[in-house]
Amino acid sequence: MTVDQHNVETQLRAKAAARGAQVNVLPNGHFQIKGELLVNYYPFAKKRTAYIAATTRGIQGATIAQAVALAFEPPAIAGDHVKAKRGSNGMYGRWRRRMWKAGFRNCHWCGIEMNRVHEHPQQMTCDHRIPLARGGLDNPNNWVPACRRCNQDRGHAMPEIVGEKP
């Protein structure tokens, strides 16, 4: 580890600890900051990028303070969220069946036991941890099992991070 890398790691750990976040050091100058959100930070890359995992949101030329702050800020709602891209070909159904067979039967948000009864408030649905309207990606890394009620009430709010009203 070079002196530069050691200095950046020391500063990053100090700023993250002040906010209650953890830092993982990965190979090739890659840091993960775990706060309310997971941020991947590359301070030694040409563009010095920091981005929220499972989203399209990021910062080029990010400072240590910006990278740490990103781990605690829910992404802004995009103006074009009405037509957010969603997958097709029944991938949500396949994902729900796999999760059900694997024993994930409680809602990620409220913990209630779910069922597979169509249109029931406790029906298992596929929710996006980071909503598509906020730049979340539509892939399994961003999906969580949620009851229909939580999924619909939550919409594109992220109350688990900043106490936003759904």
**Mean pLDDT across the stretch 56-77?**
89
Tens-place pLDDT, residues 76-113: 777 654 444 455 556 778 888 888 888 889 999 999 99
The kind and range of the H/E element at 27 are none
pLDDT on residue 84: 47
pLDDT on residue 66: 95
Report in angstroms the alpha-carbon separations of 53 from 74, 89, 137: 12, 25, 9
Domains of the chain: 3-70 (no CATH), 88-159 (1.10.30.50)
Q: Which residues lie below 8 Å from residue 92, measured CB to CB, with a gap of 6+?
A: 125, 126, 143
